Amino acid sequence: MKDTYESPLASRYASREMLYLFSPDKKFTTWHRLWIALARAEMELGLPITQAQIDEMERERDHIDYDLAAQKEKELRHDVMAHIHAYGAHCPSAMPIIHLGATSCYVGDNTDVILMKEGLQLIRDKLVRVLASLARFAGRYKALPTLGYTHYQAAQMVTVGKRATLWMNELLSDLEEVEYRLDHLKLLGCKGTTGTQASFLELFAGDQEKVRQLDRKIAVEMGFGPDQVQPVTGQTYSRKVDAAILATLSGIAQSAHKFATDLRLLCHMKEIEEPFEKHQVGSSAMPYKRNPMRSERICALARYVMADSLNPAMTASVQWFERTLDDSANKRISVSEAFLAVDAILNLYENVASNLVVHEKVIAKHIQEELPFMATENILMDAVKAGGDRQALHERIRTHSLAAGSRVKDEGKDNDLLERIAADPAFGLTREQILRHLDPADYIGCCPEQVERFLRDCIQPVLEKYAGALAGHSAEIMV
C-alpha cells in the first residue's frame, strides 16, 4: 500500500543499519533488556525476585507482541504500561515484578541514551571511512597543482591533495566531537518520578548504598561503565544532552555541506566531478548534463540537520522543574531524523569521495590562464636583480596586467601578459627568461609536504585506531 505518508529518510536515504537502530524492534527489545537489568539488579541487592522470573523474561526478551501492546495502549492510553502488560502476558510469573519501582522514563530515557550511543558509534565508523577515502585521494594528488581561490577569485596555487586535507581536517574535528560525546554520555539510571529515588529507597528499606548500587549494576549490564550514570536528575535526563548530540551531528552536516559545495563548484569548472554511472541520467530534458546530484543531496540533507539541531536546544530551554512532557513528541522526531539524515549524508560522502574524477588537463588549462599574473612577482625580482627600478617596474606590470585582463575579459582572447612584458625593454629580460617562471610546481609552496605530514601524523593514527571500521564496508546509497 502506498496511500500513507512515508519519510524519505526511511524509504530513500538512510542505511538499513541506522533504520534498524531507530526501529520499533530495537526500541522495545531495549525496553525488555532494561526491565531484565532492573529485575536482576534488584534480585542481587536482596529483593524477593527469583532467577526463574528473570529466566522467563530472558526467554521472551526479543518477542514483542505488537498487537496486544496496541490493544492495551488504546485501552490505557499509555505506551509504557501497554508494553508492560504485553511483556507480562508472555512472562506471567515475572509480571508482578516487571518495572518494579520505576517510572516510564526508566525505559524511555535510558533507551534514548543507548540508541544515541549506538548511533554515534555508527556515525563514528562512517566518518573514519570517509577519512580513509579522502586520504587515498589526497595522497594521490598531493603534488598536483591547481588554482587556489579566495572570494572565489583565483589566488595563489594549492594542490588538489592539499585542498582535500581541508575537507579532512573539518571531519577530524567532527570525529573528535563524536568521541567526546561517546566518552561523556551517561544513562539516566533509576531516578524515579522526580529524581529522588524515593521508591527505590523504600524498596531497600532505607539503604542508600543499595540504591546507588542499583544504578551502577544497570549501567554495567547495559554496556556502560559503573560511573556512567547521571549523578542528579529530575524525572528525565537533562535535555541538554540531546541538544549537545545534535549540535555534534550538525557539525558533521556543516563539514559535509562545505565539501559538497566545493565539489559542485569544481564540477561547474569541469575540474573534478563526482562519480557518474554508465546509465545515469543527468537531466530529463537535457541528456548531455552531468548534474552533481549526490553533492546536491548532501547539501539538502545537511541543511535539514542544521535546522533540526535547533529543536532539542529549544526543548532543553523550556523544561519546567523536574519534568514536563512537551519534549516527547519533538524528541521522537528530531533526534531520530538527525541521525538518519547524517547517516545518509556520510553514505553519500563516502561514495563520492571514493570515486572522484579528476580532469587534470582542464586544471592545467585553468592554471595557464592565470599563471602569467602569478608569475609577475618572480619576474619583477629578476628584473630588479638585472638593474631595474622596483617601483617603476611594479607600475609597468600593473599597466600591462590591466591591458591583458581587458583582452581576456572584454575580447575573449588569450592572456598575453608575458608577451607584453617580454616586449617591454624596461624589464631587460628575454622571453626565455620570463617563460622559465611558468612551471606550476614552483608556486605550490609546502603543499606536498603538508599533505604527507597531515596524513602521517593526523589521519593514519585514526585509521589504525579504528581499523575495524574499514574492514569489508562500502557506502550504501539507497536511491
Annotated catalytic residues are 151, 283
- First vs last C-alpha separation in the chain: 20
CA distance 279 to 302: 27
CA distance 81 to 67: 14
Residue 151 in grid coordinates: 572570494
Distances (CA, A) of 258 to 128, 252, 253, 298, 307: 18, 10, 9, 10, 16
Distances (CA, A) of 60 to 36, 43, 65, 83, 104: 10, 19, 10, 13, 20
Residue 448 in grid coordinates: 606536498
Tell me the H-state helices in 45-78: 51-59, 66-76
CA distance 57 to 203: 21
> Are the CB atoms for 138 and 161 separated by under 8 Å?
yes
CA distance 303 to 334: 14
SS3 443: helix
CA distance 283 to 243: 39
CA distance 110 to 342: 22
> Are the CB atoms for 174 and 255 separated by under 8 Å?
yes
- Residue bearing cell 542505511: 15
How would DSSP label each residue in 99-146? TTT--HHHHHHHHHHHHHHHHHHHHHHHHHHHHHHHHHHHHHTTT-EE
Q: How far is CA 161 from the centre of its chain?
A: 21
Q: CB count, 10 Å around CB of 108? A: 18
> Are the CB atoms for 109 and 319 separated by under 8 Å?
no
For residue 153, what is the enclosing H or E element? strand 153-159
CA distance 252 to 76: 41
Paired with 145 in beta bridges are 159
- Residue bearing cell 579522502: 134
CA distance 35 to 98: 6
